[in-house]
A and B are shown apart, each in its own frame.
Chain A
């Protein structure tokens, strides 16, 4: 299995622009998680889905962030408009039963 796939691996954008991060979970996994990692705050859960349905989005920082999972093999995390404080590494993880989560390689986002 290829593991969790994320794209792009690096994204540099200007403040105010829209950013879309993409994730393909491991085939057969029912859970998908979006995390953000920064030096200051560590690894934080943003939102997670079960069977394509958002279950808990309490970690989404504000309305500028949105996430979708249109099918079992694809999810997006969108930031609009982006701000410099959104700069971080964003990880997607998937899980068969919500316990063992397998992480992707991450997308390093820089907002200037």
Chain B
């Protein structure tokens, strides 16, 4: 069965304290791995798509990387406005459905 596991469940950082979020997956035939950001009371906001091992993508203070078993979302010098829940999802096989992890709740304090 396809599975996505995110860790840690929650992360508290001081402003400027860089860290990484992990998304490990077990799927047959990965088609894409996706990162979303979700703010309280809002829908998930698309951040990145990664298609193959070794691929990296960046956006402002965020950088996503992908290996054959996991993905990392690196946050460099975070700011309080980066506080949100970060969701990882995979698309695999011959289906278009996304399987989501349970998310990492990030809090950045000034």
Contact = CB atoms under 8 A, between A and B. Distances in A.
The range of chain A's interface size is 20 to 34
A101 B103 contact: no
Nearest to A58: B97
A31 B96 CA distance: 9
Given A42-B102, A42-B103, A43-B87, A100 B46 contact: yes
Given A101-B46, A106-B43, A45 B97 contact: yes
Interface in A53-86: 55-56, 59
Interface residues of B, number: 21
Contacts of B96: 31, 48, 50, 55-56, 98
Contacts of B98: 33, 45, 101
B79 to A, nearest CB: 23
23 contacts: A31-B96, A42-B100, A42-B101, A43-B44, A43-B87, A43-B89, A43-B100, A48-B96, A55-B96, A56-B95, A56-B97, A59-B97, A91-B43, A91-B44, A93-B43, A99-B32, A99-B34, A100-B34, A100-B46, A101-B34, A103-B43, A103-B45, A106-B43
Interface of B: 32, 34, 36, 42-46, 49, 87, 89, 91, 95-103
Interface of A: 4, 31, 33, 42-45, 48, 50, 55-56, 59, 91, 93, 98-106
